[in-house]
Chains A and B, each alone.
Chain A
Amino acid sequence: SQQGEEDPQALSIQEGENATMNCSYKTSINNLQWYRQNSGRGLVHLILIRSNEREKHSGRLRVTLDTSKKSSSLLITASRAADTASYFCATAAQGAQKLVFGQGTRLTINP
């Protein structure tokens, strides 16, 4: 069963604005990862945050993790048209061989 749930399911914003998407999960995790998928293509890894970390940055991306609420958020600042994609969170339990993906957020950046 899918462990991660994301909201919103779809988000449409103007170029230059910030985009925030959220992910919730149900059980204890080792880490949480965010991936981007451009239409009909493979997933690209964006960032991994471990269960003992609270915040992580990578360029225009900021990820937070709240293990007490079992939730994470991905913030993309100063959005660009090229950020238009689907974004998935994926959780990994300790020692697990597999990731469990959330339903994804479809982000559209309007020029």
Chain B
Amino acid sequence: DTEVTQTPKHLVMGMTNKKSLKCEQHMGHRAMYWYKQKAKKPPELMFVYSYEKLSINESVPSRFSPECPNSSLLNLHLHALQPEDSALYLCASSQQGKSETQYFGPGTRLLVL
């Protein structure tokens, strides 16, 4: 199974809402990633979890809060977002988090009103 799943596919939220994005993989990968992608731009790395520990935070605002409950699951908690946070949020995983191939989920399309 080489699939990374993400839920929900689409999300609309107001600036005062709290919501969560979920990502799951069953490939036994020990590194998981959150990316943000704006239209016609490359993905921008937000967070990296390696062996369930946060190893990289690319200076992401605190209104984004990642969580890795176990090696298969990755969440991104959203609170008090701004309209400019509207984007495609991509989750990815890789075997050990050492510059190897990354496997991406289909993404969550987020719209902040």
Number of B interface residues in the complex (CB < 8 A): 28
Closest to B91 in A: A42
Q: Per-residue CB proximity of B41-54 to A under 8 Å, as 1/0?
A: 11101001010000
B99 touches A43 (CB 8 A): no
A93 touches B99 (CB 8 A): yes
Number of A interface residues in the complex (CB < 8 A): 26
Closest 3 CB pairs of A and B: A92-B99, A101-B42, A42-B104
Residue among A30, A41, A94, A106 with the most chain B CB within 10 A? Answer: A41
Q: Per-residue CB proximity of A43-66 to B under 8 Å, as 1/0?
A: 111001000000000000000000
| Interface residue? A96 (CB, 8 A) | yes
Closest to A33 in B: B101
